[in-house]
Structure 1
Amino acid sequence: MNRKLYLFDFDGTLTTKDSLFDFLKFSFPNHYNKYFLIFFPFFILAKLKLAEPGRIKEKFIARFLKGKSYHEIQSLSNRYFEKNYPLIIHPKADEYIKSVSNYHDKFIVSASVNFWLQPFADHYGMGLICTEAEFDEQGYFTGKFASENCNNEQKKIRIEKEVDLSLYDEVIAFGDTSGDRAMFELATKSFFKHFN
């Protein structure tokens, strides 16, 4: 049997909405609109490539979560998963992932942060390659990322670093934006907006 590696972008590929904004809005309903409005001009600059998207994302997330303990954030993430799975997952994607034999390996590869992605990865029995949060020695979120923003070329770099591609006969990748192109370069088959 051919051994296959499945690589799935998360936001917009497996989901019907952007999980970053959805997670923060769900977890902090009283503060979300105020902070979003403060950051809105910076999101526009990032969209226009006049500011680095990863830095804007880092600062936005820090506004909500900096100083919170690993356990607090894990609790928020688990609650988000429990209330929002499977609502934000494309039904076809859910069905497809569950149909992939455990003989093959599956990874979520995402620019989103490991906080709220981990419960989804655990549920599906998938590996997780994503933007990682930095915690201090006492276990509190510093407001910084411990890795580069896992998008564009970084997706390819992280996959090559964390997965031995020589073990696989086929690499099958799913994405929905130009940020997935570098990941597609590693694939023997790639699917664009396959589930939506």
Structure 2
Amino acid sequence: MVNLALFDFDHTLTHTDSFKAFLSYSLSKTAYYKGHFKLLHYIVGYQCKMITDQKLRQKICQTAFAQYHKKQLLEIGRTFADTYLDQIISPHAKQRLTWHQSQGDRVVVVSSSLDVYLKPWCEKQGIDVICNQMTDNGTHYTGVFLGGDCGYEEKARRVQQRYNLTDYEQIFAYGDSNNDSAMLALADQKFYRWQKQ
């Protein structure tokens, strides 16, 4: 039997936030700042703990990517994955990924970030991904998340939906925030901010 290794992405595998970087990368300066101004009350609400990060993420994507051409954003996401993501992967995180792969473990990134750039990066690494996907009308994105935001309990639910956990000898999980708590609870070997729990 092989092991299952579950990794959060932002601030676990990376040393910075990929979602914010992708917003800057994929939007014009005008669109970025107009969107920021439009969402200011949501941002303040989040900082004051009046709304959740899940709600804020969904509002950001609805503002930034509604009516964004699907083919164009997928191309931008692939380029972002190829040129940027490897630069923000922490060396010790890359080492741990490689270790799990060398053991023959099934490795999965479980993230609240977007599939338009996480999917091509994970495919390149030969690992699975569970993350936020936006719905589309065939040609353009709506900005709405398919099945809601992939955070908190939803991370654990989607892992259990995709994998039969009893098929694995041990489950490892790596996270850095409360967003990962439910996923960490699935694991035999839990690592929070790289410290074994």
TM-score normalised according to structure 1 size: 0.90
Structure 1 gaps of 5+ residues are none
Partner of 1:149: 149
Partner of 2:133: 132
Q: Which amino acid aligns with 1:5?
A: L
Alignment of 1:60-79 (within 5 A): 60-79=60-79
Give, in angstroms, the shift of residue 43 of structure 1: 2.1
**In 2, distance between residues paired with 1:152 and 1:47?**
18
Give, in angstroms, the shift of residue 39 of structure 1: 2.2
Q: Does 1:44 align with 2:44?
A: yes
Q: Which amino acid aligns with 1:117?
A: L
Give, in angstroms, the shift of residue 29 of structure 1: 4.5
Q: Which amino acid aligns with 1:153?
A: E
- The answer to whether the 8 Å contact 2:6/2:108 transfers is yes
Count how many residue pairs are aligned between Structure 1 and Structure 2. 193
Alignment RMSD (CA, Å): 1.8
> For 2:101, what is the secondary structure of its paired residue?
coil
**In 2, distance between residues paired with 1:21 and 1:85?**
12
43-52 vs 124-133, which deviates more? 43-52
Give, in angstroms, the shift of residue 51 of structure 1: 1.9
Aligned-pair identity in percent equals 25
Structure 2 gaps of 5+ residues are none
TM-score normalised according to structure 2 size: 0.89
**In 2, distance between residues paired with 1:47 and 1:183?**
24
- The answer to whether the 8 Å contact 2:101/2:107 transfers is no
55-64 vs 183-192, which deviates more? 55-64
In proportion to residue count, which structure has more helix?
A: 2
**In 2, distance between residues paired with 1:120 and 1:48?**
34
CA offsets per residue over residues 93-148 of structure 1, 9 Å max, x none?
12221232362101000111212211221121111111221111x23211211122
- The answer to whether the 8 Å contact 1:110/1:150 transfers is yes
Q: Does 1:108 align with 2:112?
A: no
**In 1, distance between residues paired with 2:59 and 2:176?**
25
Give, in angstroms, the shift of residue 66 of structure 1: 1.4
> For 2:61, what is the secondary structure of its paired residue?
helix
**In 2, distance between residues paired with 1:179 and 1:132?**
17
27-36 vs 63-72, which deviates more? 27-36
